[in-house]
Amino acid sequence: MKRVSKLVIYGLVIVGIAISIITTNFFPLSSWATANNQPTQTETTTPKRLNITVNVSEPDDLKVSEGEQIAKGKVIADRERERTRLTAQQKQLQLSLDRLQAASITPPAAPAAVPPTMALPPISYLEQEAAVAKTKSAISSIESEVELKQQEVEYLSGVKNLDPIILEHERAKLKQLKLNHTAAVREYQLAMGKMQTAKSDRAYQEYQASINTARRVEEMNQARLNYQRQLAEYEQRLTDREFQVTQLQEKLNNVDQAIATLAVIKSPYSGTVRRVSWLGQSADGTLSAQVVLMVNK
């Protein structure tokens, strides 16, 4: 009889398990029922005690103290002075960068082309040469007359019983011819002087023209050298500005990164600050502290 009872109980258990499996597969539980049967996320992830390590620039950056009751979202650490300093530095660097990029660097103007010099007009000494030839011919003609008159006077001087008035008259003619010869020689010398002066003036003009040409060439070469120097200075200024822009941009990026690292540390839970411990100071001067938070349930 007991054996039959056990068999009946076992049979009921098996039937109950089968009904449960069928019910679970074809008729799932509602969500609230599942949530009630399983532990909530808060119950499984909320710690009782939380150790929070922070890095600050100075002790005043730590905003909590031992025994303080804090709510969720309460600021634990904030490097306000460091952020203010870096923000001011950021603005100054950005202002310097903007000014440097906005500053215009004007390229030098190319030297203007030097106008060509006017060549000296051709010169002719035909007039002077004609005057010289004319006076020279006059001298030769007068010399011939003087020579003939001299011979005539000498002949008349040897003639006996010659009227002295005739000899005196011929001697006067000879004297006048000699005076004419002297005047012709002077005219010749004057014509030669004029021709020599004309040639000297021309030589001086050519000398001055050569000096002016050399001076203009020198000025042109100097202008080119100055332009090359100014162009090199212009390119150097562009290079220097690019280098300065790169340096300022790098410094600005470093400051931006430094500001980005200055996160405000907030409490993820409400609770009580159990203990605040200073851990030490790093090589860059920052202080490390540990805040032990006892989380409220």
Using pLDDT thresholds of 50, 70 and 90, give the confidence band for residue 136: very high
User: Do the domain assignments include residue 267?
Assistant: no
Q: Are residues 30 and 146 in the same domain?
A: no
Both 132 and 254 in a single domain? yes
Strand ranges (DSSP E) for the chain?
49-56, 69-70, 75-77, 265-266, 271-281, 287-295
Mean pLDDT of the region 33-56: 62
150 with 27, same domain: the answer is no
Q: Which residues touch 125 (CB under 8 Å, ≥6 apart)?
A: 195, 198, 199
Q: What's the confidence (pLDDT) of residue 44?
A: 54
8 A C-beta contact, residue 108 and residue 231: yes
Q: How confident is the model at residue 79 (pLDDT cuts 50, 70, 90)?
A: confident
d(CA 80, CA 97) in angstroms, rounded, equals 25
Same domain assignment for residues 132 and 245: yes
Q: In the structure encoding, which two tokens stand for residue 280, read together?
A: 């030490």
Compute the distance between CA of residue 238 and CA of residue 229 in angstroms, rounded to an integer. 14
pLDDT tens digit sequence for 149-200: 999 988 888 888 888 898 899 999 999 999 999 999 999 999 999 999 999 9
Encode pLDDT of 49-63 as tens digits.
989 998 888 888 888
254 and 151 within one domain:
yes
Mean pLDDT rounded to a whole number for the chain: 82
To the question of pTM greater than 0.95 for the whole model, the response is no
Flag whether 252 is in a domain.
Answer: yes
Is 77 within a domain? Answer: no
pLDDT at 113: 78
Collapsed DSSP state (helix, strand, coil) of residue 239: helix
How far apart are alpha carbons 104 and 232 in whole angstroms? Answer: 16
Whether 66 maps to a domain, the answer reads no
Decide if 247 is inside a domain.
yes
Q: Which residue segment(s) compose the domain that 15 sits in?
A: 1-38
Instruction: Tell whether 133 and 27 lie within a shared domain.
Output: no
Residue 145 included in any domain: yes
Q: In total, how many domains does the chain have?
A: 2
CA distances from 185 to 135, 181, 252, 270 (A): 7, 6, 98, 135
pLDDT score for 263: 78
pLDDT tens figures, 238-249: 999 999 999 999
Looking at residue 174, what is its pLDDT? 92
User: In degrees, to the nearest 5, what angle opens at C-alpha 98 toward C-alphas 101 and 251?
Assistant: 100
Distance between CA 101 and CA 245 in Å, rounded? Answer: 7
- Domain assignment of residue 274, yes or no: no
Please write the tens of the pLDDT for every residue from 192-213. Answer: 999 999 999 999 999 999 998 8
pLDDT in tens, 82-118: 888 999 999 999 999 999 989 888 999 888 877 777 8
Say whether both 15 and 130 belong to one domain. no
Asked if residue 52 belongs to a domain, the reply is: no
